[in-house]
Amino acid sequence: MTSSHTTDSTHGPIRTPLQLLYGSLLAFIGPIAVIIGLASFVASGNKTSPGAADLERSVALRIQKVGSVEVRDANRPLQSGEQVYKAQCAACHASGAVGAPKLGDAAAWGPRIKTGFDSLVQSALKGKNAMSAQGGGAFSDVEIARAVAYMANQGGGQFTEPPAPAPAQ
């Protein structure tokens, strides 16, 4: 049996003049487009992010340190519970934002007071529900505990403000 259809290996992928025209254009225009794209990528250089007008500042923000060390005066007088409340806690506890018990609301503070002072302080230091952790912030743990005692006492609690810790020898 002979096959009437034979394959000729001398023919390439281009069989018509139109294919030759498209292949020639692609072979000429393709590398030029790649070269233009690479040149514009290299020439773009170090551009600031949108909205940043100061190149040095935008670079400094991108490469800034992850952490920082803040030196505070260890001998400064401790703030009272009311002072800490006004400076930090009142933002949510004055208005009752995101479920925070309002200052002086005995019905909201009652169940919390029953858990005990230490539990309330740990919730304040570590955070609970929508409240972020207060430990390590602008105030010491003792000052946060004083604020907890102040707020709980305004809601019907009978806690005493923690005294200042004794200085280390």
What's the structural domain count of the chain? Answer: 1
> Does residue 169 lie in a domain region?
no
Instruction: State the Cα–Cα distance between residues 116 and 121, nearest whole angstrom.
Output: 9
Q: 128: buried, middle or exposed (CB in 10 Å: 19+, 13-18, 0-12)?
A: middle
> Does residue 147 lie in a domain region?
yes
Q: Which amino acid is at 63?
A: I
> Does residue 97 lie in a domain region?
yes
Contacts of 112 (CB under 8 A, 6+ apart): 101, 120, 152, 155
Token pair for 95:
């208005």
Q: CATH number, domain at 97?
A: 1.10.760.10
If you average pLDDT over every residue of the chain, what do you get? 80
User: Which pLDDT tens digit goes with each residue over 100-155?
Assistant: 888 888 888 888 888 888 888 888 888 888 788 876 567 888 888 888 888 888 88
Question: What mean pLDDT do residues 1-13 have?
Answer: 62
Report whether pLDDT(7) > 60. Answer: no
> Does residue 65 lie in a domain region?
no
Highest-pLDDT range among 1-5, 41-45, 121-125: 121-125
Residue 150, domain extent: 81-154
